[in-house]
């Protein structure tokens, strides 16, 4: 009987200890999760028209996700006019259009980013296959880079090795035809290269030809770019299609038209674009001299943002309806001159704009419910800053 009583009380004591241990373990896990969250860093990558290799060309800043301030981490010299940047899918590498707007030149370059050491290191360069490279993108498998060259109207494809090195190009397609504006559209001008959501197609807005070109992308082939069944869709004459993006649901696509000052909306399915709307990025008061530039969608798919340069220097804000069409919400001054590019972070909380003319980077906080923007933090002075990318590590 005594043994039974002892066992009973020992069991009760043990049960209490296990309960306390569980609570302690839960607390430790919460603390560790918090520490991990605190250990995450959001880095912002800027490229620029530096016009001199001896000056800084690419910059890395850290974003304070509470106050919206940017603090410098590192920078790179020895590179000329890194006008556009993109990151590898895993964030280990930064790829740049280099020697942009440089006569008889043009290249694409690779850099390795180490978030622990907070360092950016040059890896290598390859010729871009045409003058004035303006846009590049990577395949989700990390093995391919696609670049667009504005002046000569061409697209180039490069394999990427496991260490981030850009291999010699395996394809280069040149386009020749122009459109209705003799000053701006005497021949083709490829302005962006954008993969479809499933990465099976690449779309090439051609400002010079008023076309959005389409290619299949077959990763198992040595030359993966193959003309699509429907090789292009025409845009409004003189519209000058520039940048292009897909809705997160993959059912709709949006093209900003530089010369037309509008966004064209398309239904999308397996390489086919079907136009459903064209809406101005400016108020009715503005009648011409449009300089629309960049376009992005919030991660939740509720709002689209389109930047306007020239006399406007603003971002047009649209709500996205269930059928993919747009409804104007309003306009936000970008607090700088010539908002060439901007980007939205993965959380959807911040939008950062690059202004090459005023040489400023400006941070905005985004209201997820209304879509409206509010300037936060201190603007950063960066000569000729022309491109921006954000990633959390």
Give the pLDDT confidence of 175-190 residue by residue, as tens digits: 999 999 999 999 999 9
Task: Determine, yes or no, domain membership for 225.
Answer: yes
Going by pLDDT thresholds of 50, 70 and 90, the confidence category of residue 17 is: low
Number of domains present in the structure of the chain:
2
The reply to whether 29 and 51 lie within a common domain is: no
Burial 349-362, CB ≥16 within 10 A → b, else e? bbbbbbbbebbbbb
Coil, helix or strand at residue 66 = coil
Q: Is it the case that residue 34 has pLDDT exceeding 60?
A: no
At residue 178's C-alpha, the angle toward residues 174 and 183, to 5°, is 120
The reply to whether 19 and 67 lie within a common domain is: no
Task: Determine, yes or no, domain membership for 134.
Answer: yes
Task: Determine, yes or no, domain membership for 42.
Answer: no
Please list the helix, strand and coil fractions of the chain in percent, rounded to the nearest 5, in that order: 10, 50, 45
The reply to whether 30 and 58 lie within a common domain is: no
Give yes or no for a contact between 142 and 158, defined as CB atoms under 8 angstroms apart.
no
The reply to whether 230 and 96 lie within a common domain is: yes
User: Any bridge partners for residue 363, and if so which?
Assistant: 352, 376
Q: Is it the case that residue 6 has pLDDT exceeding 50?
A: no
Task: Please report where in the chains the tokens 């871009």 appear, as a residue.
Answer: 128
The reply to whether 245 and 338 lie within a common domain is: yes
How many residues are recorded in the chain? Answer: 393
| CATH number of the domain that residue 178 is part of | 2.130.10.10
Give the pLDDT confidence of 196-246 residue by residue, as tens digits: 999 999 999 999 999 999 999 999 999 999 999 999 999 999 999 999 999
Give the pLDDT confidence of 285-300 residue by residue, as tens digits: 888 899 999 999 999 9
Task: Determine, yes or no, domain membership for 283.
Answer: yes
pLDDT at residue 1, rounded to an integer: 54
Going by pLDDT thresholds of 50, 70 and 90, the confidence category of residue 99 is: very high
The reply to whether 74 and 1 lie within a common domain is: no
Which range of residues forms the domain containing residue 27? 1-34
pTM of the model: 0.90
Q: How many other C-beta atoms are found inside a 10 Å radius of the C-beta of residue 317?
A: 22
Give the pLDDT confidence of 308-354 residue by residue, as tens digits: 999 999 999 999 999 999 999 999 999 999 999 999 999 999 999 99
Task: Determine, yes or no, domain membership for 326.
Answer: yes
Give the pLDDT confidence of 43-78 residue by residue, as tens digits: 999 999 999 999 999 999 999 999 999 999 999 999
The reply to whether 142 and 93 lie within a common domain is: yes
The reply to whether 148 and 290 lie within a common domain is: yes
Task: Determine, yes or no, domain membership for 40.
Answer: no
Looking at every residue in the chain, the average pLDDT score rounds to 93
Give yes or no for a contact between 373 and 330, defined as CB atoms under 8 angstroms apart.
no
Of 169, 170, 271, the closest CA to residue 227 belongs to: 271
User: What percentage of the chain reaches a pLDDT higher than 90?
Assistant: 88
């Amino acid at each position: 009987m005594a043994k039974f009583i002892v066992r009973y009380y020992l069991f009760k004591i043990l049960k209490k200890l296990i309960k306390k241990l569980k609570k302690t373990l839960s607390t430790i896990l919460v603390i560790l999760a918090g520490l991990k969250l605190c250990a995450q860093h959001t880095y912002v990558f800027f490229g620029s028209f530096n016009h001199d290799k001896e000056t800084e060309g690419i910059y890395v800043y850290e974003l304070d996700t509470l106050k919206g301030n940017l603090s410098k981490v590192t920078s790179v010299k020895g590179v000329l006019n890194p006008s556009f940047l993109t990151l590898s899918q895993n964030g280990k590498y930064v790829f740049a259009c280099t020697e942009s707007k440089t006569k008889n030149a043009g290249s694409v370059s690779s850099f390795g980013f180490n978030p622990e050491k907070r360092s950016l290191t040059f890896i290598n360069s390859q010729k871009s296959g045409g003058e004035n490279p303006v846009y590049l993108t990577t395949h989700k498998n990390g093995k391919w880079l696609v670049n667009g060259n504005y002046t000569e109207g061409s697209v180039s494809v490069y394999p990427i090795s496991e260490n981030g090195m850009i291999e010699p190009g395996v394809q280069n397609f040149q386009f020749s035809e122009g459109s209705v504006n003799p000053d701006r559209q005497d021949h083709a001008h490829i302005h962006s290269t954008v993969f479809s959501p499933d990465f099976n197609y690449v779309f090439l807005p051609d400002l010079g030809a008023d076309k959005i070109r389409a290619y299949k992308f077959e990763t198992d082939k040595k030359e993966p770019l193959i003309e699509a069944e429907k090789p292009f869709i025409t845009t409004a004459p003189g519209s000058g299609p520039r940048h292009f993006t897909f809705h997160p649901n993959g059912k709709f696509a949006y093209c900003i038209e530089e010369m037309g000052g509008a966004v064209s909306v398309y239904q999308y399915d397996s390489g086919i674009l079907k136009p459903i709307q064209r809406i101005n990025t400016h108020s009715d008061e503005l009648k011409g001299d449009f300089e629309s530039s960049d376009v992005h969608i919030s991660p939740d798919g509720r709002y689209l943002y389109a930047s306007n340069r020239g006399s406007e220097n603003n971002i047009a804000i649209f709500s996205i309806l269930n059928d993919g069409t747009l409804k104007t919400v309003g306009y936000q001054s970008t607090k700088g001159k010539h908002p060439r590019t901007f980007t939205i972070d993965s959380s959807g909380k911040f939008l950062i704009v690059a202004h090459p003319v005023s040489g400023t980077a400006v941070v905005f906080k985004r209201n997820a419910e209304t879509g409206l923007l509010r300037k936060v933090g201190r603007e950063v002075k960066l000569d000729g800053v022309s491109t921006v990318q954000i990633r959390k590590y």
